């Protein structure tokens, strides 16, 4: 269960960090820092805070910024389809770092595997407020991608405890969420519900 950050949902980073901490304690086992609007210094500060929260409890992944990932001692990076080539990322981060790739079709998934991606984040599974107006790819994309690649796949996009199980039965190894946890009335209970819904 991966939790993707979105500081724009909150007036304070402390509020988000509190919710992330609660979610980790309730079962989130990967946290991805994805803050496209933050400058380097702010991003690094947030990354270091998240590294402290995740240390020994959850994998910590930084979106795109290999430099920030290295400086914050992150476990790896998540690279967009138009981001740095995976072999370049691995040469900078070192062989022990995780490198995920965001993909939106089967072709992108197979290319990422050929480049050496450790995992894929595939979507969007369902309509999502993070990308309003985008037509979701749907569960069939997960089914088709699973047939072509063997590495772990996380489904993303509009996923909640209501539909997470469908993503798993379509071939995912896990799910990534934002609002389902960060904006939940009870982040702890929402996390537990999500863990239960994706468990075998």
- Condensed to tens digits (0 to 9), the pLDDT of residues 175-185 reads 999 999 999 99
Residue reference for tokens 């239960």 = 196
- Condensed to tens digits (0 to 9), the pLDDT of residues 69-119 reads 999 999 999 999 999 999 999 999 998 999 999 999 999 999 999 999 999
Q: Which two tokens stand for residue 171?
A: 């071939």
The model's confidence at residue 131, banded by pLDDT at 50, 70 and 90, is low
Under a CB-based contact definition with an 8 Å cutoff, are residues 17 and 49 in contact?
Answer: yes
Predicted TM-score (pTM) of this structure: 0.96
- Condensed to tens digits (0 to 9), the pLDDT of residues 60-72 reads 999 999 999 999 9
φ, ψ of residue 61 in degrees (nearest 5): -125, 135
User: Residue 23 to residues 101, 184, 198: CA-CA distances in angstroms?
Assistant: 24, 11, 15
Report the chain's mean pLDDT, rounded to a whole number. 96
């Amino acid at each position: 269960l991966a939790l993707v950050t979105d500081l724009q949902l909150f007036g304070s980073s402390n509020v988000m960090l509190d919710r992330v901490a609660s979610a980790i304690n309730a079962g989130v086992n990967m946290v991805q820092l994805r803050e496209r609007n933050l400058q380097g210094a702010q991003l690094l500060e947030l990354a270091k805070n998240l590294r402290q929260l995740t240390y020994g409890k959850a994998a910590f992944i930084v979106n795109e910024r290999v430099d920030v990932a290295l400086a914050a001692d992150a476990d790896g990076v998540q690279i967009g389809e138009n981001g740095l080539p995976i072999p370049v990322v691995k040469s900078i981060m070192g062989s022990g770092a995780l490198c995920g790739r965001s993909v939106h079709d089967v072709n992108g998934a197979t290319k990422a595997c050929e480049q050496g991606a450790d995992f894929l984040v595939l979507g969007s599974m369902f309509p999502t407020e993070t990308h309003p107006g985008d037509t979701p790819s749907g569960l069939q994309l997960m089914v088709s991608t699973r047939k072509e690649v063997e590495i772990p796949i996380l489904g993303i996009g509009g996923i909640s405890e209501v539909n997470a199980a469908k993503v798993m039965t379509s071939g995912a190894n896990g799910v990534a969420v934002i609002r389902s946890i960060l904006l939940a009335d009870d982040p702890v209970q929402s996390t537990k519900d999500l863990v239960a819904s994706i468990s075998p």
